[in-house]
């Protein structure tokens, strides 16, 4: 059973930066496409960034393109999300996710198989 544990959330002022981490256990990392989703209470969950665990190809939502960077250290089974130029509208619970079926190009539009517990990111103006 694949398990995902996020860390790195917190509170920051607008314009600041945060880096989220997600440690993956229970599976072979390179077999998965990894992604970050976020959800604001009362709204639908939004897929924001995805990466192929094998070849490192990436995909971003327009809302974060140019500000957020998804990366990985497959030797450590760890996924990252570097968030720069944060805005108040980035405030949400951020989830790490993994899937073995959908490709990077479409994963953000689907519901991955495995999810972390989520970490809160709060951006104040």
Q: What is the pLDDT of residues 49-102, one digit of tens each?
A: 999 999 999 999 999 999 999 999 999 999 999 999 999 999 999 999 999 999
Model confidence band, residue 27 (pLDDT cutoffs 50, 70, 90): confident
> Cα-Cα-Cα-Cα dihedral of 103, 48, 35, 118, to 10°?
-150
Residue among 100, 89, 7, 8 at smallest CA distance from 46: 89
């Amino acid at each position: 059973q694949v398990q995902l544990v996020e860390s790195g959330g917190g509170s920051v002022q607008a314009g600041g930066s945060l880096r989220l981490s997600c440690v993956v256990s229970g599976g072979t990392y390179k077999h998965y496409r990894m992604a970050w989703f976020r959800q604001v209470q009362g709204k639908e969950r939004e897929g924001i960034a995805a990466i192929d665990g094998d070849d490192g190809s990436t995909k971003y939502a327009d809302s974060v393109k140019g500000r957020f960077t998804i990366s990985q250290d497959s030797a450590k089974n760890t996924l990252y999300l570097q968030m720069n130029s944060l805005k108040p509208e980035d405030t949400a619970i951020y989830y790490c996710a993994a899937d073995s079926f959908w490709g990077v190009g479409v994963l953000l539009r689907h519901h991955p198989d495995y999810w972390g517990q989520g970490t809160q990111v709060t951006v104040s103006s």
